[in-house]
Chain A
Amino acid sequence: MERSAAAFENDLNLKATELRLGLPGTDNEPDHQQSSSSSSSQLIKNNKRSCSEMDGARQTGQQQESGAPAPKAQVVGWPPVRNYRKNVLEQQKKPESDTGSGMFVKVSMDGAPYLRKIDLKFYKNYLDLLKALENMFKCTIGVYSEREGYNGSEYAPTYEDKDGDWMLVGDVPWDMFVTSCRRLRIMKGSEAKGLACL
Chain B
Amino acid sequence: MAYSFPEEVLEHVFSFLTSDKDRNAVCLVCKSWYEIERWCRRRIFVGNCYAVSPEIVIRRFPEVRAVEIKGKPHFADFNLVPEGWGAYVYPWVAAMSAAYPLLEEIKLKRMVVTDESLELISKSFKNFKVLVLSSCEGFTTDGLASIAANCRNLRELDLRESEVEDLSGHWLSHFPDNYTSLVSLNISCLGSEVSFSALERLVARSPNLRTLRLNRAVPLEKLPNLLRRAPQLVELGTGAYSAEIRSDTYSNLAEAFSACKQLKGLSGFWDVVPSYLPAMLHVCSGITSLNLSYATIQSPDLVQLVTQCRNLQRLWVLDYIEDSGLEALAASCKDLQELRVFPSDPFGAVPNVSLTEQGLVSVSEGCPKLQSVLYFCRQMSNAALVAIARNRPKLIRFRLCILEPRVPDYLTLEPLDTGFGAIVENCKELRRLSLSGLLTDRVFKYIGTHAKKLEMLSIAFAGDSDLGLHHVLSGCESLRKLEIRDCPFGDKALLANAAKLETMRSLWMSSCSVSYGACKLLGQKLPRLNVEVIDERGPPDSRPESCPVERLYVYRTVSGRRVDMPGFVWTMDEDASLRFS
A residues contacting B by CB (< 8 A) are 39-42, 44-45, 48-49, 51, 55-56, 59-60, 63, 68-72, 74-86, 88-89, 92-93, 124, 171-173, 175-176
User: Contacting B273 at CB < 8 Å: which of A45, A88, A171, A173?
Assistant: A173
A88 nearest in chain B by CB position: B294
Q: B485 touching A77 by the CB < 8 A rule?
A: yes
Q: B342 touching A81 by the CB < 8 A rule?
A: yes
A85-B163 contact given A80-B401, A124-B298, A172-B245, CB 8 Å threshold:
no
A49 nearest in chain B by CB position: B83
A-B pairs with beta carbons under 8 Å apart, 28 shown: A41-B163, A41-B191, A42-B165, A44-B191, A45-B163, A48-B79, A48-B163, A51-B80, A59-B347, A63-B347, A70-B349, A71-B348, A77-B80, A77-B485, A79-B376, A80-B78, A80-B460, A81-B342, A81-B376, A82-B77, A84-B161, A84-B163, A84-B189, A88-B270, A89-B294, A89-B296, A124-B298, A172-B244
Q: A173 touching B270 by the CB < 8 A rule?
A: no
A84 nearest in chain B by CB position: B161
A106 to B239, CA, bound (A): 36
A60 nearest in chain B by CB position: B347
Q: A81 touching B346 by the CB < 8 A rule?
A: yes
A76 nearest in chain B by CB position: B79
- In the complex, what's the smallest C-beta–C-beta distance from B482 to chain A, in angstroms? 15
B242 nearest in chain A by CB position: A173
User: Contacting B78 at CB < 8 Å: which of A41, A69, A82, A173?
Assistant: A82
Best-surrounded residue of A68, A79, A88 (most CB of chain B within 10 A): A79
A72 to B346, CA, bound (A): 11
Other A-B pairs, 8, CB within 8 Å; known A44-B191, A92-B294: A41-B164, A63-B347, A71-B348, A78-B78, A79-B376, A85-B294, A89-B346, A172-B245
- In the complex, what's the smallest C-beta–C-beta distance from A52 to chain B, in angstroms? 8
Assess whether B289 is interfacial by the CB under 8 Å rule: no
Assess whether B506 is interfacial by the CB under 8 Å rule: no
The 6 A-B pairs at the shortest CB distance, nearest first, are namely A77-B78, A40-B191, A51-B79, A71-B347, A39-B191, A41-B191
Q: A79 touching B343 by the CB < 8 A rule?
A: yes
Q: B346 touching A83 by the CB < 8 A rule?
A: no
Contacts of B343 in A (CB 8 A): 79, 81
B78 nearest in chain A by CB position: A77
Contacts of B80 in A (CB 8 A): 51, 76-77
Assess whether B24 is interfacial by the CB under 8 Å rule: no
Contacts of B546 in A (CB 8 A): none
A42 nearest in chain B by CB position: B165
Contacts of B82 in A (CB 8 A): 51
A41-B342 contact given A71-B349, A77-B79, A88-B270, CB 8 Å threshold:
no
User: Contacting A77 at CB < 8 Å: which of B75, B192, B242?
Assistant: B75
Best-surrounded residue of B244, B344, B349, B376 (most CB of chain A within 10 A): B349
Contacts of A79 in B (CB 8 A): 343, 346, 376, 401, 403
Q: B83 touching A41 by the CB < 8 A rule?
A: no
Q: A173 touching B275 by the CB < 8 A rule?
A: yes
Q: B350 touching A41 by the CB < 8 A rule?
A: no
Enumerate B66-94 residues with CB–CB distance to A below 8 Å. Answer: 75, 77-80, 82-83
Enumerate B249-277 residues with CB–CB distance to A below 8 Å. Answer: 270-271, 273, 275
- In the complex, what's the smallest C-beta–C-beta distance from A167 to chain B, in angstroms? 13
A41 to B166, CA, bound (A): 7
Q: A92 touching B78 by the CB < 8 A rule?
A: no
A70 to B349, CA, bound (A): 7
A175-B273 contact given A69-B349, A71-B349, A78-B460, CB 8 Å threshold:
yes
User: Contacting B83 at CB < 8 Å: which of A51, A55, A76?
Assistant: A51
Q: A85 touching B270 by the CB < 8 A rule?
A: no
B75 nearest in chain A by CB position: A77
Contacts of A83 in B (CB 8 A): 77, 79
- In the complex, what's the smallest C-beta–C-beta distance from A159 to chain B, in angstroms? 16
- In the complex, what's the smallest C-beta–C-beta distance from A88 to chain B, in angstroms? 5
Contacts of B271 in A (CB 8 A): 92
Contacts of A59 in B (CB 8 A): 347
Best-surrounded residue of A69, A70, A92, A171 (most CB of chain B within 10 A): A92
Contacts of A44 in B (CB 8 A): 163, 191
Contacts of B191 in A (CB 8 A): 39-41, 44
Assess whether B405 is interfacial by the CB under 8 Å rule: yes
A88 to B163, CA, bound (A): 13
A41-B165 contact given A80-B78, A85-B342, A88-B294, CB 8 Å threshold:
yes
